[in-house]
Amino acid sequence: MAGEEAKTIKQYQALIRALIPYEQENRLLEGLNRFSGRLPGTVRKTIKDEVIRLTSLTDAPADNSAFAQFPVFKFKHFGIDMRLDKVGANILKTESSLYQNRYTVGVFESLTNSDFYQAQIKKEQYRKIVDAFTIEAQSQNDIQFGDDIAIAPNFPVACPEFDKGRSCTVPALGHNSMVVETKRPPKAQVGELYQFALPEVFPQNKDTGVGYRLDKMVFNKDTDKYESHFCVDDKIDDKTRAQIQKYIESNAYQQPLKRELELERAMQDLERDRIVANSPWVTLQINDKQGTLVPKAALFTKTNQQRNKGFSALAAFSGKHNFAALTEELSTFNEAFLLCGTVETRRGKISINATHRQLLASNLFIPIMYLLTKHGKFQCYHCRWVAADSETRRIAYATHDIAINQHEEFNRCSHLLFFTDISDRIGPLGLPEACQMGPIHQSLQPDTDTWDIQVVIDDTLDRRQEARYEIEKTASIRRGLLRSVNAQVLDVSLKGIRVRLAQPEDGPLQGVLKITVGDLKIKNEKYQVVSYCKKRHIARLKVAEKAPTAFAQLVEENPSYFRPRDAAKMSRNRHRFIWEMAVREHPSASLLCVANRFLLDRIKTLYLHESSQDLYPFSQEDNIAPLHGFFADQGQDKPKSTLLLNLLKAQVMQSTVIHCLRKTDNKLVYVNYDDYRYKAIRQQLIRHLDEEKVELCATRIEVQRCSENASPLIKKRLALLSKVDKALYERLLNMQSAYTHVIYLTNESVLQTAIITGRLRPLASAARTPRASQQQIRGYTVKPKRPRDPYIVTLFY
């Protein structure tokens, strides 16, 4: 019977500790009824007796010197001899508080219990590890200064009663305040009311005076000038207040803020720019064209161009029917995994362009994923989706001085689609058992009717040698003696032209062609075909003999018409517009790293969106984000990170961290990635996922070394700061070399869950994979080929 009681006490230890405060207040029966109303009577009695025993007073001396971490101190507490170390003293304090600062049997047993002592040590070690990997998190949205916002317009103001009517510069203008600066101490009285004319705020009436009351006068050591701080008089009308507020809000992104605020804004802008510049994600601008979502332009950088195999990645998003299905899924889930590749069947090769949810709905995910990954010639794009609101567009216009009437395409921007190629993270997958494959529907194959997606790149990547002009004019191309083809001019330069044919050509388009564009005074000019895209019907041509003089004269005589249509300027505006949208909506959590001799001090700031799930199953609180679950070495006494060290030393470029969340008690279990892929725990996870007992959490971690320290866009960001503090501008510019890496954390649990629940298993290396003889799979014929690629698959349905 004693063994049964001990088992019951161990099982209900948490309940016993929860009932101790009730016993201290003589409400034990109430606590039992509240927490253990459905327990058997014998169990209730055992729990009740144990609680009463633990809360009974004792005078036994406590000694933990047998297992303590020395030194051990001798002292008296509650009038009783104690021999405790620092950890034991802390246990005495916490346990005594549980028993209303009384020395009970429970306190004594806690002090003399080695297991309880070791549990406290582990808690303390875990707390130190969590604190070491906890950093500050920043939102990707702009800093909201609220009523404290003040711009630095630097226009002159004057008042006859203030400083003898001399003109003073305004370094800060707020909703309810104004600061003017002078070289000498101004002659004015604190508390006096002065009427200042603000010509920039009230351009229609430059003599309008606004009453400001002098609050204080200080000397600014940074500028070596005297600053007079004013507050708006309470008696001014609401119309004047609204006019001042409107002026500040409309110029907040075109003019610098006051020195302290501009420094905060510049720091955030520079860090967000660095995240996008080194990001593997490609930003795709989506326009709403009469209710149809159309991919308009894609923002490419040096980094994401390398990570996504160049501009060829756009082919996966150009099919009209495929893109419509993709956007429909993204509108529901905000995330999708797009699979592209070719599978071989008895009817020939079939191309695939479908999301994993489409394949799951068609019951084709398992066989198609198996065949695509078997030969490695496929792409898996992780896609994320965000709506582009009008406020973000307005900020982009104001920040980069973009005229809205010159880019109507920007006003139609409704969404941003981000994608990155993660096919290298999905190795060959094996089938554990036979599976049946049905017909592949046409909707799961690439559409031949495609959208024309424009490539947007930085000025440093543009290889054009002369000015181009984006002009939409009708052209005529002679293809023979009595045959001509209609086309539309996309852009033109003195020595080249780019056109889209109205109808695709049956044969190859090559050789020398005669082109006529009447509106541009180009008549039967000879052009040599440079390239022709059959899918998009777009031809690039260069002049065959000499540049058309009539067109060159037209450009010189009409600069007001051609200058706004300069393709380089319009491309720069497109680049900065999409960039400005992307820095506020970057799809994955981004960790900035700086140079430091200590490893853990190299992680500086984490940027992520408020709705981001990339830290799941962990969460941030009060702008504090825990990262120990992703980087800390498991089972260590001190904070260490082998993964972070390997990432920063370029020994590992990307990795995956796996956690399992048990739904019954929300307990989190870390799973080693190799064990998750190859060990028996994978079968346990499959069983628990089928029974909906656990939730799989997979996070992709990838690193990118910062290459550029002072790009043209960074210098433009700092230009406003240079107007308010030149020294601070130079110091912040030099600080950019301190940023060394950006680490991106992306949750890809949806795809990993689909793979593991589909019983697809990653294949190990050739040395670990057993050789197999001929195998017949329902729907497949599998034959040995060679040791490193043991199977060749022929599909029939």
Regarding predicted confidence, which is higher, 548 or 372? 372
Q: For residue 631, what are the contacts with CB-CB under 8 A and spacing of at least 6?
A: 133, 641, 643, 644
| Residue-level pLDDT at 2 | 66
Beta bridge partners of 216: 229
Is the per-residue pLDDT at 769 higher than 70? no
Mean pLDDT for the stretch of residues 257-272: 91
Of 728, 265, 654, the residue nearest 425 (C-alpha):
654
d(CA 27, CA 668): 35
- By mean pLDDT, which of 276-280, 519-523, 702-706 is the weakest? 519-523
Using DSSP, state whether 79 is helix, strand or coil: coil
Which residue bears the tokens 């194959």?
445
HEC sequence for 91-150: HHHHHHHHCCCCCEHHHHHHHCCHHHHHHHHHHHHHHHHHHHCEEEEEECCCCCCHHHCE
Structural contact between residues 138 and 605, judged by C-beta atoms closer than 8 angstroms: yes
| Residue-level pLDDT at 789 | 32
d(CA 109, CA 124): 20
HEC sequence for 409-427: HHHCEEEEEEEEECHHHCC
Residue type, 553: Q
d(CA 146, CA 148): 5
| Residue-level pLDDT at 709 | 64
d(CA 120, CA 491): 72
d(CA 327, CA 333): 10
d(CA 248, CA 256): 11
Is the per-residue pLDDT at 783 higher than 50? no
Sign of CA dihedral 153, 155, 156, 157: negative
Average model confidence (pLDDT) across the chain? 86
- pTM for this one? 0.83
| Residue-level pLDDT at 418 | 97
In angstroms, the Cα distances linking 562 to 42, 74, 407, 500 are 93, 91, 15, 21
Is the per-residue pLDDT at 41 higher than 70? yes
Is the per-residue pLDDT at 778 higher than 70? no
Mean pLDDT for the stretch of residues 489-516: 83
Is the per-residue pLDDT at 772 higher than 90? no
| Residue-level pLDDT at 315 | 92
Is the per-residue pLDDT at 784 higher than 90? no
Sign of CA dihedral 334, 340, 344, 348: positive
Is the per-residue pLDDT at 229 higher than 90? yes
* CATH code of the domain made up of 469-551: 2.40.10.220
Structural contact between residues 152 and 172, judged by C-beta atoms closer than 8 angstroms: yes
In angstroms, the Cα distances linking 613 to 218, 268, 675, 748, 749 are 48, 22, 25, 10, 10
Structural contact between residues 228 and 188, judged by C-beta atoms closer than 8 angstroms: yes
Is the per-residue pLDDT at 555 higher than 90? no
Regarding predicted confidence, which is higher, 406 or 194? 194
- % helix, strand, coil for the chain, step of 5: 35, 30, 35
| Residue-level pLDDT at 766 | 40
**Burial of residue 165 (number of CB atoms within 10 Å: 0-12, 13-18, 19+):** exposed
Is the per-residue pLDDT at 792 higher than 60? no
| Residue-level pLDDT at 231 | 93
Is the per-residue pLDDT at 536 higher than 80? no
Is the per-residue pLDDT at 310 higher than 90? no
Mean pLDDT for the stretch of residues 172-176: 91
CA 524 to chain centre: 52
Using pLDDT thresholds of 50, 70 and 90, give the confidence band for residue 785. Answer: very low
Is the per-residue pLDDT at 464 higher than 70? no
Using pLDDT thresholds of 50, 70 and 90, give the confidence band for residue 740. Answer: very high
Q: For residue 291, what are the contacts with CB-CB under 8 A and spacing of at least 6?
A: none
Tell me the domain boundaries of the chain. 1-54, 56-132, 147-252, 280-456, 469-551, 589-763
Most confident of 5-19, 151-165, 447-461, 643-657: 643-657
Mean pLDDT for the stretch of residues 754-780: 59
Is the per-residue pLDDT at 797 higher than 50? no
- By mean pLDDT, which of 66-80, 506-520, 626-640 is the weakest? 506-520
Using DSSP, state whether 688 is helix, strand or coil: helix
* CATH code of the domain made up of 147-252: 2.40.10.220
Mean pLDDT for the stretch of residues 648-663: 93
d(CA 527, CA 23): 97
Structural contact between residues 494 and 551, judged by C-beta atoms closer than 8 angstroms: yes
Is the per-residue pLDDT at 325 higher than 50? yes
Half-sphere exposure of 267 (CA within 13 A, CB side): 16
Structural contact between residues 585 and 611, judged by C-beta atoms closer than 8 angstroms: no
| Residue-level pLDDT at 462 | 61
Regarding predicted confidence, which is higher, 321 or 786? 321
Is the per-residue pLDDT at 456 higher than 80? yes
Which residue bears the tokens 């550029």?
708
Using pLDDT thresholds of 50, 70 and 90, give the confidence band for residue 237. Answer: confident
Q: CA torsion, points 265, 268, 274, 275, in degrees to nearest 10? A: -140
**Burial of residue 500 (number of CB atoms within 10 Å: 0-12, 13-18, 19+):** middle
| Residue-level pLDDT at 505 | 75
Most confident of 231-235, 356-360, 371-375, 492-496: 356-360
Overall size of the chain counted in residues: 797
The encoded tokens of residue 615 equal 């830290």
Sign of CA dihedral 607, 613, 614, 619: positive
